[in-house]
A and B are shown apart, each in its own frame.
Chain A
Amino acid sequence: MSSIPAILPKDAAAAEGKVNVQINGTWYRFPKGTRIVDACNSVGAHVPTFCYHPKLSVVGSCRMCLVEQGMPPRLAPGAAPTYDENGYQPISWMPRAVIACANTVAENMGIRTNSKMTEEARKGVLEFLLTNHPLDCPICDQAGECKLQEYTADYGRGTHRFTEAKTKKGKNLPIGPRVNLDQERCVLCRRCVRFMKEIVGEEVLGVVNRGTHNAISCYPGTTLDSNYSMNTVDLCPVGALTSKDFRFQMRVWFLKSTPTIDVNCGTGTNINIWTRESKVYRITPRQNDEVNSCWMPDSHRLNYKYINAPERLLTPLVKTDAKAPQRPTTWDSALNLVVEQLHKCAPTETAIVASARMTNEELYMVRALARQLGITKLDIVSRKGAGDNMLVSEDRNPNTNGVKMILGKTGTGLNAIRRGVRNGTVRFVIALGEDLTSPEAGFTKEDLEGLDYLLTIHHSENETTRMSDVVLPGVTFAEKYGTMINVAGRIQRLNKAIEPMGEAHSDWAIFRDVSERLGCDCVKVIACPTPMMVLEEMAQEFEPMKGLTWGNIGNEGKVILNTGVTIPLIERTKAKN
């Protein structure tokens, strides 16, 4: 009592709209209204949770997040509060634990996440959660990333006190086309129920029966068939909901996760690619509150099979004669042949069909190549589809904004190229990362047969590569570094998760090598050792990219363009808060 600070901490905090909270003996300041669980986690005092998820409503049903809590003592009438030398009131600890998820911090509150009482409380909760949990961890897909397993390691008893038989519930239930349900493994956190109700708005999941027979279910005749259904698998803290695509494929501890972005639409959903050696096993969403929150559509999540498909092109292919079959060759001879052939193509009769699925670095190199060859007929294939008012954008190309910035194209010139091919003014075509016979590109087989020369760079075999004079094997999004700009103008990074298949080369490097052999002497192009360097070159040229480096884009990306386009799901989430 000898020396109370002139300004009490509570007044200082109140001026900032904050409150003082003591967590495990240390005082911190948090904004008013912060949940205890978020406050504790933010300072490294981890609070175990099953039902709590920051993006869903709070139900407080699992009780795993119990913490010991205390407040200043309630004063007798007329009594003045006492303060210690740091200006805090003494904390009188409550005899019962409180749940950290449903309670918010208050001035001079004390929290203990590591006290004996907290530990006892959590042990008790966990013991009940385990009473009916099957002991099938060895064959459970969630093993290794299971919350129940983790917390059992922290708070489990090691021995079982219950002698009663475990309750039997439904196992291996096909609850949806992409999701399987095991009711016995469920801890009834109801995250999946809340996700479907609050985020997707399709209340197909519910809890049926009572007490120990409680189970997650859908109504017979309805299924969990939303395009966002697999997010429930990510949300499930245990192995109750499993992905039909991933189950029994690989133990998760063998997988390496690489943060990157999805390339199926203009949203650029942030994802993790899970790989082992050179195989992709699954894709999960990565939290980015400005792009995709914590979710991703199933259609995008499952579109990865082509990466390890047998159709992948593994070596350069060349036709030595117009009618001869394609045969594999080495990069060196393929590139030399390409250069020789390109020299023969009249620039006015040559067109480049590039792709808005390319990274900015690749597009930059395409521009260099086009300039080197003197080609002006250059455009991309635009892809439009229906937006779903959630995360799937109408623009099915991931980098339309990059193309606009670097090439200045929007896909409108493709018609002219197609017309040129048909009336004979375009006799040579360079197809980069696009199948020209796809419905979006709109070329027919006859169009391609009529060409004098077709050079293709693509990662997989398709109609166009089969008809090409030279095919150079490129890579998929999982095998390269690069950046793309999403519909909202955010530049985001692609990271290499696996090495290129076979002898495939990164597309940007192929363009660089071709340019170099064509006689390009621009050091900015030919001397680039990595796509990160290409990015720095671009940062000097393009105004919106000014100051950008690979490092400062970060895992969350950076908004560099004001496109006026927003992502519906994110807008809704922001409006709610």
Chain B
Amino acid sequence: MSEQPNAIDALTAAKPSPGEKYFPKFQVTEELTAEAAKLVALYPEGKEQSAVLPIIHMIQEKHGYICPEAMPWIAEMCKSTPIHVAGVVTFYPGIHTTCPGKYHFRVCRTIACALSGGEELLAYICGKIGVNPAELTDEHPMAVSPDGLWSIEPVECLANCGFGPNVMINETLYSQVTPKMIDKLISEYSKKD
């Protein structure tokens, strides 16, 4: 009766995103395997499973998100099981299972930022990048703009509470953000190549 075919298969169902064109597609290459092996080697023998999270971060950094094909590979690298990796991936909201846009907004909505205008900012950015704020739900806390250039995700504390509202674009933190600043930032970023 649910629209999704099956709650188990949904774990690896393809979730196409317009952001995919800005990131290289996940592919198992020798370099990638070597890089993962390096991470695994950081942990003692028998504890290879500990490298699951570092490898996930590495993949997300390179490819934007953890695609279904990556999970069994990660499991293989860490002598873990696909279901364990899927458990880790789906546990952290910060680990994406759909591809974000080229520029990813993280808007803080923890109390200090929310009180200083973060909530309104979230709606404002959504309007600017062409995303329906209703798309942001507990289960899918990220939305991508139709052109794939932008994505937005409400997040918890960005550790800069004295200077809210805080917004992060990719890895850069902006504090005391106003709608005007957003306009400026969007036009600046869209001019980058």
Contacts and interface: CB of A to CB of B under 8 A. Distances in A.
A210 B93 contact: yes
A142 to B, nearest CB: 19
A347 interface: no
A205 B82 CA distance: 10
Nearest to A175: B8
A108 interface: no
B139 interface: yes
Interface in A191-221: 203-211, 213, 215, 217-221
Interface stretch (B33-41, B83-91, B172-180): B83-91
Interface stretch (A71-79, A165-173, A494-502): A165-173
A204 B81 contact: yes
A164 to B, nearest CB: 12
Nearest to A217: B8
B27 interface: no
Given A170-B7, A173-B8, A183-B7, A217 B86 contact: yes
B87 A169 contact: no
A173 B7 contact: yes
B50 to A, nearest CB: 16
A577 interface: no
A210 B139 CA distance: 9
Candidate in A170, A206, A215 with the most chain B CB atoms within 10 angstroms: A206
A222 interface: yes
A275 B18 CA distance: 59
Interface string B56-86: 0000000000000001100000000111101
B12 interface: yes
A86 to B, nearest CB: 49
B187 interface: no
Contact of B8 (A168, A210, A218): A218
A106 B2 CA distance: 51
Contact of B91 (A173, A175, A210): A210
B83 A219 contact: yes
A215 B83 contact: no
Given A169-B7, A170-B7, A173-B6, A217 B91 contact: no
Interface residues of B, number: 22
Nearest to B92: A210
B11 A220 contact: yes
A204 B84 CA distance: 9
Contacts of A211: 138
Contacts of A181: 8
Interface in B145-175: none
A210 B97 CA distance: 14
Contact of B82 (A183, A207, A222): A222
| Chain B interface main SS type | helix
B9 interface: yes
Contacts of A220: 8-9, 11-12
Given A206-B81, A210-B93, A170 B86 contact: no
B86 A215 contact: no
A154 B72 CA distance: 44
B11 A217 contact: yes
A206 B80 CA distance: 12
A222 B83 contact: yes
Given A204-B81, A210-B91, A219 B7 contact: no
Interface in A362-391: none
B111 to A, nearest CB: 19
Contacts of B8: 170, 173, 175, 181, 217-218, 220
Nearest to B1: A171
B77 to A, nearest CB: 16
Contacts of B11: 208, 217, 219-220
A208 B90 contact: yes
A203 to B, nearest CB: 4
B72 to A, nearest CB: 8
Interface string B99-112: 00000000000000
B93 A217 contact: no
Nearest to A204: B83
Residue among A206, A207, A219 with most chain B CB within 10 A: A219
A208 B11 CA distance: 9
Contacts of A219: 11-12, 71-72, 81-83, 86
Contact of B90 (A171, A183, A209): A209
A23 B36 CA distance: 53
Interface string B4-23: 00111111100000000000
A206 B7 contact: no
Contacts of A173: 6-8
Contacts of A169: 7
A210 B8 CA distance: 15
A205 B6 contact: no
Nearest to B13: A220
Contact of A206 (B10, B12, B72, B86): B86
A206 B83 contact: yes
Contacts of A208: 11, 83, 86-87, 90-91
5 contacts: A173-B6, A204-B83, A208-B83, A213-B138, A219-B86
Given A173-B7, A207-B87, A219-B72, 11 more contacts: A168-B2, A171-B2, A181-B8, A183-B7, A205-B83, A206-B86, A208-B11, A208-B86, A208-B87, A208-B91, A219-B82
Interface of B: 2, 6-12, 71-72, 81-84, 86-87, 90-93, 138-139
